[in-house]
Structure 1
């Protein structure tokens, strides 16, 4: 249980009926109604909201642009701006896709394809847990839902600060994921891996160097978490890259799940080499659909002495 909340995840509290939560309840009902709209309307709304967010969220916009400049130096300034704007549109599309996954999942029928499922099934058949190396995709829980059509994924999550919002998201995710594991519950995570579960884990954000090293990410040194090395070593699980993305005609989108073979010799005896290899896997994934990633996070915020500031 998270230290932030003194109740079980997903548990309803009578306090949620107090006036301080009424605004959020109204927002929740509104979002549920948005999930039943035709995709054509959802797409137009997402595009409008994406343009608005790109214009109004100045700090996030600057971070996104800077990240793209650093990671894709081959792009012209005009291309960077175009792709940065599309990141915000894809983020809003991901919100609608997540609402569809939660409240109208039949929308995904006949829209999903998968490659490499055998890598997970073979690993589990051999008695191994599977740590699915993924990214913070703008598809959000829609990606988890399409994966759940082929295998049972667990997910590592960070509790929300607002307890009502946390309850809502937890309950909605319960329809998608077999188990939800608090990011602070390392024992639970290891236990599930030892039990042979497949757990979606995203080692692609900057959490400093307390449990990480500086390793190149798109050619630029970035604080890279290494906690997964310990998880794999203790649980005897295997690391399998997983990526999902939207493709095709936006008026009739399709969704692709790409699962690659288990990463050989991970963890090795070299912490830095392992971090480099994982970053390279993430880079390869992101090049497939560059704008379907949360570039508005400060991926290069940790800059030890001797490293040039990015932001």
Structure 2
């Protein structure tokens, strides 16, 4: 018997037509229909879904509240709750923004602008690849699409567990990103950096201490990814902060892509200092639009010795 060929990202397989995948096909068709709705209806639906998620996803709600309490101690309890609810709204709005980026990208015409593009072009003119240090924004792939309007961008991604869903997401992202690089494919990352690509890389989540070091994040010790230091050393790449966010009236939103000056001196010989600097960059980005980040993830789940569990 011949062995089954390994699945290739974005590749259609006939087994996807089997009944076990029909629910996904139905869901995707429904999402495509949502993408063609007028924005006024989309954002109203987003608010309704956010309300439901706030009340149904109790664990996510609790995590969001706790993260904001810890990171913004200057906020009152009422402010924390208000901002936490807005996180859920921004997440749901981001789902519709992503659907628009996948299926109706012209919706973003005349709604976006870029700042600091010269920082990227200058680094690439020197023959360097660029790690665009960004965040897990609630804009999701809409943020990547906005960037692609101004410069070619690769993305590091985590494959979906369901192969059919992975195929669909991969294909929807294909027009947006020049390359989609599996987060475990270090060789691919280094290869594209050596070729001078710009790669969206988000070192803003807790992946434990096997891949990082404890460093303060909003003043709280947090497991901080340091893999980008090795990537930059091996590929002689530059680090440039990248941020994108929504602003203005939600009924007629505008979007800003912001690139900052190359971060000098990273990687250095001091791993902790590099981690602190990157966390400071992310903190500054998040303060621009605090609720447009995925605060419902447990950013502080890994605790340093002697520190209590934040999520008790």
When the two structures are superposed, what TM-score results if normalisation uses the length of structure 2?
Answer: 0.98
How far residue 65 of structure 1 moved from its aligned partner, in angstroms, is: 0.4
Which residue of structure 2 lines up, in the alignment, with residue 57 of structure 1? 57
Q: What is the alpha-carbon distance in structure 2 between the residues aligned to residue 213 and residue 8 of structure 1?
A: 33
Which residue of structure 2 lines up, in the alignment, with residue 269 of structure 1? 269
Counterpart of 1:176 in 2: which secondary structure? coil
When the two structures are superposed, what TM-score results if normalisation uses the length of structure 1?
Answer: 0.98
Deviations 1:181-201 (A, max 9, x none): 000000000010000000000
| Mapping of residues 53-202 of structure 1, within 5 Å | 53-202=53-202
Q: What is the alpha-carbon distance in structure 2 between the residues aligned to residue 39 and residue 106 of structure 1?
A: 13
Counterpart of 2:127 in 1: which secondary structure? coil
Deviations 1:239-293 (A, max 9, x none): 0000000000111000001100000100011000000000000000000000000
Q: What is the alpha-carbon distance in structure 1 between the residues aligned to residue 279 and residue 245 of structure 2?
A: 18
Which residue of structure 1 lines up, in the alignment, with residue 27 of structure 2? 27
Give the aligned length: 307
Q: What is the alpha-carbon distance in structure 2 between the residues aligned to residue 238 and residue 198 of structure 1?
A: 9
How far residue 6 of structure 1 moved from its aligned partner, in angstroms, is: 2.7
Counterpart of 2:288 in 1: which secondary structure? coil
Counterpart of 1:287 in 2: which secondary structure? helix
Does residue 260 of structure 2 align to residue 260 of structure 1?
Answer: yes
How far residue 304 of structure 1 moved from its aligned partner, in angstroms, is: 3.1
Q: What is the alpha-carbon distance in structure 2 between the residues aligned to residue 283 and residue 6 of structure 1?
A: 40
Q: What is the alpha-carbon distance in structure 1 between the residues aligned to residue 159 and residue 280 of structure 2?
A: 29
Q: What is the alpha-carbon distance in structure 2 between the residues aligned to residue 9 and residue 44 of structure 1?
A: 34
Q: What is the alpha-carbon distance in structure 1 between the residues aligned to residue 204 and residue 28 of structure 2?
A: 29
Which residue of structure 2 lines up, in the alignment, with residue 229 of structure 1? 229
Q: What is the alpha-carbon distance in structure 1 between the residues aligned to residue 216 and residue 26 of structure 2?
A: 45
The answer to whether the 8 A contact 2:221-2:304 is kept is no
Runs of 4+ in 1 over 6 A off after TM superposition: none
Structure 1 residue runs of 5 or longer lacking an equivalent are none
Q: What is the alpha-carbon distance in structure 2 between the residues aligned to residue 186 and residue 54 of structure 1?
A: 37
The answer to whether the 8 A contact 2:213-2:226 is kept is yes
Which residue of structure 2 lines up, in the alignment, with residue 8 of structure 1? 8
Does residue 37 of structure 2 align to residue 42 of structure 1?
Answer: no
Deviations 1:28-54 (A, max 9, x none): 000000000000000000000001101
Counterpart of 1:244 in 2: which secondary structure? strand
Q: What is the alpha-carbon distance in structure 1 between the residues aligned to residue 234 and residue 306 of structure 2?
A: 34
Which residue of structure 2 lines up, in the alignment, with residue 282 of structure 1? 282
Structure 2 residue runs of 5 or longer lacking an equivalent are none
Q: Cα RMSD (Å) of the superposition?
A: 0.8
